[in-house]
Structure 1
Amino acid sequence: MMTPPGLCPTLVRPEMFNSRVYQVAHPSTHSIIKRFIDIVGSIVGLVILSMVFLPIAIAIKLDSPGPIFYTQERCGLQGKPFKIRKFRSMVSNAEALKSRVKNEAKGLIFKNENDPRVTRVGNFLRKTSLDELPQFWNVLKGEMSLVGTRPPTFDEVSQYKEHHWRRLDVKPGITGLWQVSGRSSIKDFEEVVGLDLNYQRNWHPIYDIYLILKTIEVVLLRKGAY
């Protein structure tokens, strides 16, 4: 089967052409208010990024050889692929070393509280969430939202079961209900999915604002980040 233009190859299933993925749009995907919040928030985020970019870039380079950014293709709204960028927080050959690190999570996510691939600067960037700042560009472009679901990788999506696909009914977000409910301390993929779907059921622009404010609190207190 040929892959429909703009769709992640791993997302193609025989039943998809008549599935809810193409027929049902979550209200958040066409909300003018949500998009306005995203644009304003992304501009503020990019201003902050411009102020801290140089010191972070220098710190990454001095701490570990390799690029400043970590770039990876992810699956977004209704399976549309896009490139996500973060400040690099691991050694440059982290993917090659992944098989040597124990996965402490359950299901389709990978987590290790003391991952040896994380650099000293990377550890600080993760705890302060500064590594996420480049994603505000994705929000401004409309590929992501300030609030949404965690953007999955191709490998993750290739193993999805039926109920997991509903996560793709909204734009992926820099933050979300999972972010304010434990962040990295949540180690069960089904719990992440449950939080993502709960967000969809309860979505409202005011709910997004609440989660943004809650995220600021969580980040400042460094709750659940590693």
Structure 2
Amino acid sequence: MYPTPSHTIVHSANLTAWELQFIPHPSLKSKFKRFLDILGSLVGLLILAIVFVPIAIAIKLDSPGPIFFVQKRYGLRGKPFIMRKFRSMVTNAEHLKSLVKNEAKGLIFKNQNDFRVTKLGRFLRRTSLDELPQFWNVLIGEMSLVGTRPPTYDEVVNYTPRHWQRLNVKPGLTGEWQVNGRSQITDFEQIVDLDLRYQQNWHIFYDLFLIGKTFYVLFHKVGAC
């Protein structure tokens, strides 16, 4: 059975301080951004429908376990939601996490040669095909095509007010981090800087620019895992 998201936002003194100074970001009121999200998610889900069967079969043949990796993430203003990806790791990846050296700095976990990633999983990550199921989150409004990377509980529970600011916008399938280094960026504070820069520079045409740059990054495998 899949886990269901709690409607309780993570509680901490730092979160309370951030909520007191929260100002809705202009992107949240943009009807064109929402229209772009709906249109893009429908195209994405169509692609998902086409490739689902071959990817599902490949995952099953590559390693035992479910087709999807299901995890609670935190979105706009820290609201939890359930995110699904095509599984790219072994099924007991969380239990093996302590055996993997964290090469990142700050509140993220990264290892370029993580042994838990399956052979097929490396391909799915390199091509971002593992992210396709998230178009459903975009369609129902939990995510956007462009935004910030949705964090896990282990991250948000340690957030400072500065970190909480990155959740002033919806989490996105792509964003500044994905097109400006992706897995090559291993410093969490640098990721936060990029997220806050996105909020400062936001305009609907900037979203279109980042979407276009995302395709360039994917096709040229820039910063791929």
TM bucket (normalised to shorter chain) is: over 0.9
Q: How far 1:79 moved relative to its partner?
A: 1.0
1:137 maps to what in 2? Answer: 136
Amino acid across the alignment from 2:129: L
How many residues get paired? 220
In structure 2, C-alpha distance between the alignment counterparts of 1:160 and 1:196, rounded to whole Å: 14
Amino acid across the alignment from 2:92: N
**Which digits, 9 at most, give the CA deviation of each residue in 1:137-162, with x for residues without a partner?**
00000000000000010110011112
Q: Is the 8 A contact 1:76 1:144 kept in 2?
A: yes
In structure 1, C-alpha distance between the alignment counterparts of 2:78 and 2:84, rounded to whole Å: 18
In structure 2, C-alpha distance between the alignment counterparts of 1:15 and 1:9, rounded to whole Å: 10
**Which digits, 9 at most, give the CA deviation of each residue in 1:153-206, with x for residues without a partner?**
011001111210101100000000111001111000000000000000000000
Amino acid across the alignment from 2:106: G
Three-state SS of the structure 1 residue aligned to 2:69 is: strand
Q: TM-score, normalised to structure 1's length?
A: 0.94
In structure 2, C-alpha distance between the alignment counterparts of 1:134 and 1:12, rounded to whole Å: 34
Amino acid across the alignment from 2:192: V
Q: How far 1:11 moved relative to its partner?
A: 5.4
2:148 maps to what in 1? Answer: 149
**Which digits, 9 at most, give the CA deviation of each residue in 1:114-146, with x for residues without a partner?**
100000110000000000000000000000000
Consecutive unaligned residues in structure 1, runs of 5 or more: none
1:152/1:6 Cα in 2 relative to 1: closer, same or farther (>3 Å)? same
Three-state SS of the structure 2 residue aligned to 1:133 is: helix
1:169 maps to what in 2? Answer: 168
Between the two proteins, what is the percent identity of the paired residues? Answer: 65
In structure 1, C-alpha distance between the alignment counterparts of 2:29 and 2:60, rounded to whole Å: 41
Q: TM-score, normalised to structure 2's length?
A: 0.94
1:25 maps to what in 2? Answer: 24
Q: Is the 8 A contact 1:11 1:79 kept in 2?
A: no
1:6 maps to what in 2? Answer: 7
1:77 maps to what in 2? Answer: 76
Q: How far 1:222 moved relative to its partner?
A: 1.1
Q: How far 1:221 moved relative to its partner?
A: 1.0
2:66 maps to what in 1? Answer: 67
1:109 maps to what in 2? Answer: 108
In structure 1, C-alpha distance between the alignment counterparts of 2:14 and 2:161, rounded to whole Å: 11
In structure 1, C-alpha distance between the alignment counterparts of 2:71 and 2:222, rounded to whole Å: 26
2:3 maps to what in 1? Answer: none
Three-state SS of the structure 2 residue aligned to 1:37 is: helix
1:44 maps to what in 2? Answer: 43
